[in-house]
Structure 1
Amino acid sequence: MAVPIYIGYEFKVNPLQPATEILIAELGYAGFESFVENNEGLTAYIQKEDWNAFILDGINILKSSEFAITYSFNEIEQTNWNAEWENNFKPIVVDDLVTVRAPFHDKPDTKYDLIIEPKMSFGTGHHETTHMMIQHILKNDFKGKSVLDMGCGTGVLAILAEKVGANSLDAIDIDNWCYINSLENVERNKCKYISVYEGDVSLLKDQKYDVTIANINRNILLNDIPTYAKHLTKNGLLFLSGFYEKDIPLIEAKCEMNMLKLVEKIKRGDWVSLKFIN
């Protein structure tokens, strides 16, 4: 398989919110695959084969008078990208129980050792939302449970869920690179019960899950929560992240409409992660 070449866009956004969140959602619909937020805005990546000089013409927020958004872009050589993440990807430890590390890091002493090679995919535990979802998994009983990991990214959450006892897991991501990367990481961690699929909630037919994990942006969650609820077992658990504390009323209201009750909140920085029960 040929290694894809990426175009990277550096966006400077003022004020940051809600503009950054809106920008990510619009860029996602335009074909951008990966996003890294920073103090000035964000970096967005799209495969060169999917890029054209008019790719931003349909990004409406760039035309808004409410926000000042500037950008620049350049082609990223894959070899340079790999060297960069190897230099900057440090192992992380969550609650002294889980280590998320790259294959070239030393084996840790923690109970759970997750070996993740993220490449262009999202989800190493460094971002607040992934970190909080890991905390949720550690705090809850997954033994013998069926699990859905929507927007699986690197597959890190599904991999941890299996390691803590889940024995039937589906990991789904709409991004081809995430799908491939998840397959690699599932194999790398010698997981036996995880099936990885490329797509979205439309893949779900008659399946029922004891636990659903969804670490995706707010707009996608609001659209897909009814489907998550439909595919939960009685007393099933839904863990959500990928949004800010100010978004909780919207998320909670949508969940309540679908008979899901909020039972726990974790906060890290401006980000939150919520636990609902069916």
Structure 2
Amino acid sequence: MDYLEFKIKCLEEFREILIAELAEIGFDSFLETEDGIDAYAAESEFDRARFDGLIASYQDAAQISLSESIMPRVNWNEEWEKNYDPIAVDDLVYVRASFHEPKPEFKYEIVINPKMSFGTGHHATTFQMLRHQGELDHEGKRVLDVGSGTGILAIMAHLLGAKSVEAFDIDDWCVDNGNENFDLNGLQTRMGLGTIREVNPQGNFDIVLANINKNVLLDEMEIYSRLLPNQGYLLLSGFYAEDISDLLEAAKPFGLGLVKKSSKDNWAALILQKT
């Protein structure tokens, strides 16, 4: 089966958004590049009309240009191995793939084989979430990771001493990939499949992690609050720095107050606490 390859040049802040959107219309593999992303879809399952409509909707805002070609089916593991470099979050944690050498000088190490799932630590949102996790006491805590992707934040919670960790994602590929990464890092839990309303996790959780996007966070804010006890923490990312005020305004009616905010490459992250 042949694959269609699209080399998409775009603004950096739209890379992850486009990956998420393209995954929804049948694309099953992605590589981030210096200029944007390479996206791949099976030729037999490609929906030209939906693709053209999606690209048109982001064309101007993301400054998209693209080229298209046909390629034989490839070994995706080999492709991402060529393009996946390890990263360090300060001196807290070293995130690497299984084919990279370990670095024992770091306090923690996470092994992530990302395949096509989201969350390798390279994106500014994941980087900031990991950093903020390192600033909170997880010892003996109950932690929920909403929209877990590769499972990297759930794994970080486990390494930081959480008593129990629950995680889920709406994408079955992410669930399979996340469970593989849990096994690589000694995390015994299994990732659930579905939205937060479908999975229906049962609180209280001492820490809730949600690195998704602005609209989902706004829609689910009340649910996060219900899952937290007084003094519980909510860590958010997946939105731009200019959206911080909207998130804080939405959180206020549910007793969620700002503890800390940060931004990197115009992507923002928040630590909120329920009072």
- Looking at structure 2, the residues matched to 17 and 115 of structure 1 have their Cα atoms a distance apart, in angstroms, of 25
After superposition, the Cα gap between the structure-2 partners of 1:143 and 1:25, relative to the gap in structure 1 and judged at 3 Å, is: same
Shift of 1:114: 0.9
Aligned residue type for 1:157: L
Q: Deviations over 1:201-222 (max 9, x none)?
A: 1111533211111111222222
Query: Any residues of structure 2 matched to 1:30-179 within 5 Å, and which?
Result: 30=25, 42-44=37-39, 51-56=46-51, 59=54, 62=57, 69-74=64-69, 79-109=74-104, 110-179=106-175
Aligned residue type for 2:223: T
Shift of 1:167: 1.5
Q: Deviations over 1:231-273 (max 9, x none)?
A: 1222111101111111111111111132211110122221111
Aligned partner of residue 235 in structure 1, secondary structure: coil
* TM-score, normalised via structure 1 length: 0.83
Answer with 153-162 or 227-236: which moved more: 227-236
- Looking at structure 1, the residues matched to 19 and 253 of structure 2 have their Cα atoms a distance apart, in angstroms, of 26
Aligned partner of residue 117 in structure 2, secondary structure: coil
Identity across the alignment (%): 41
Match of 2:181 in 1: 185
- Looking at structure 2, the residues matched to 275 and 56 of structure 1 have their Cα atoms a distance apart, in angstroms, of 36
Q: Is the 8 A contact 1:25 1:217 kept in 2?
A: no
Aligned positions, number = 272
1:229 to 225, 241, 246: 225
Aligned partner of residue 132 in structure 1, secondary structure: helix
Shift of 1:54: 2.4
Whether 1:201 and 2:201 are equivalent positions in the alignment is no
Aligned partner of residue 59 in structure 1, secondary structure: helix
Structure 1, unpaired ranges of 5+: none
Q: Deviations over 1:24-44 (max 9, x none)?
A: 675465455677776755555
Aligned partner of residue 208 in structure 1, secondary structure: coil
Structure 2, unpaired ranges of 5+: none
After superposition, the Cα gap between the structure-2 partners of 1:21 and 1:158, relative to the gap in structure 1 and judged at 3 Å, is: closer
Answer with 4-13 or 153-162: which moved more: 4-13
2:246 to 246, 250, 254: 250
- Looking at structure 2, the residues matched to 131 and 232 of structure 1 have their Cα atoms a distance apart, in angstroms, of 24
Whether 1:213 and 2:209 are equivalent positions in the alignment is yes
Q: Is the 8 A contact 1:214 1:239 kept in 2?
A: yes
- Looking at structure 2, the residues matched to 88 and 169 of structure 1 have their Cα atoms a distance apart, in angstroms, of 30
Match of 1:274 in 2: 270
Answer with 171-180 or 28-37: which moved more: 28-37
Q: Deviations over 1:180-208 (max 9, x none)?
A: 0000010111113x331111111115332
Aligned residue type for 1:93: A
After superposition, the Cα gap between the structure-2 partners of 1:83 and 1:20, relative to the gap in structure 1 and judged at 3 Å, is: closer
Q: Is the 8 A contact 1:33 1:175 kept in 2?
A: no
* TM-score, normalised via structure 2 length: 0.84
Shift of 1:6: 6.7
Aligned residue type for 1:231: L
RMSD of aligned residue pairs (Cα, Å): 3.1
